[in-house]
Structure 1
Amino acid sequence: MTIIIPDKYPEIARAQFNAIRNEIWHIATAHELGKVEESLKWGEPSFSVQGGSPIRIDWKDKTPEIFNVYFHCQTRLIDTFKEVYPNSFTYQGNRALSIPLTKSIYDTPLNQCLLIAMTYHKVKHLPLLGAQPA
């Protein structure tokens, strides 16, 4: 299933959505992680690969200046990202990281966060999930 970008997104949020979505697909291909499943979970675009933890992404009109990347709250993902990348993102509890719409995802370690989530079941036993400080 290919996800259609929600109509509610302003153009700048659509660009951020496309950049993150493209990065997910690039990581899956580059690391031979298999097919990316796209779906809607709780009304938000969700991406998953076998052996990984699902990733949801969304823009909210309540916080129009940021784009959120959600991770499963019962994993160690966000706690690890907070420890390894403390100043790279704003964090929303143990479930999301936020990126300003005006900031390129390529100026952040988001690709490392996505890779760790997409390989979570292989790295969950490693210190810091195998993450390398930026």
Structure 2
Amino acid sequence: MNDTNQHAPDFANSAVESAFAAFSAIVRPQLLQLRQLVFDTALQLPQVGRIDETLKWGQPAYLTPDTRSGSTIRLGTPKEGGFALYTHCQTTLIADFRHLAGDAFRYDGNRAVVFEGNEEPPLDLLRPLVASALTYHLKSR
């Protein structure tokens, strides 16, 4: 069972809300669960501060503008179908997560964890990846 205990905020950015509305009905619920996971995880990490939800490359993106603690997280749909949680490809986030999670997930190189369209994302297992992305720049300080 997935452990999300908060409610994601309403959309403050109408372009992001429109991007979610444009996702197919097959993947939209799962992408909204991943959105919820980002906000829930950020609330558990006070050093992260405010999350800015915006669009990058036409996809919902999550940044830590006040603290600059994190690397951008994006949510979207790969060309091959399904949905994905993306991280910056020039970080070690996916490689580090793959080392922890192994073959429990499908990966798109060093940039994403990908899922089938009707697959339920295992939020509790993804939480360490999201937490690492939200605190990525704190490790080098």
- Do they superpose with TM above 0.5? yes
Following superposition, which runs of at least 4 residues in structure 1 exceed 4 angstroms of deviation? none
**2:72 aligned residue (37, 51, 54):** 54
1:103 matches 2:116: no
Structure 1's unaligned 5+ residue stretches are: 126-134
Q: CA deviation at 1:124?
A: 5.1
Q: Among residues 58, 69, 73, which one is paired with 1:43 in the alignment?
A: 58
Shift of 1:100: 2.4
Let me know the Cα RMSD of the aligned residues: 1.9
**Equivalences, count:** 123
Structure 1 residues 1-134: aligned runs within 5 Å: 1-2=12-13, 3-6=16-19, 7-32=21-46, 33-49=48-64, 50-60=68-78, 62-64=79-81, 66-106=82-122, 109-123=125-139
Residue 12 of structure 1, CA deviation: 2.5
Contact 1:77-1:117 at 8 Å conserved across structures: yes
- Residue deviations 1:72-100 (CA, integer Å, cap 9, x gap): 11111111112111112111111111122
Q: Distance in 2 between matches of 1:45 and 1:121?
A: 21
Q: Taking structure 2 as the reference length, what is the TM-score of the superposition?
A: 0.77
Q: Which stretch of structure 1 is more off in the superposition, 6-15 or 25-34?
A: 6-15
Q: Contact (CA 8 Å) 2:34, 2:123: kept in 1 or not?
A: no
Instruction: Give unpaired runs (5+ residues) of structure 2.
Output: 1-11
Q: Is the 8 A contact 1:5 1:14 kept in 2?
A: no
- Aligned-partner residue type, residue 89 of structure 1: F
Matched-pair identity in %: 30
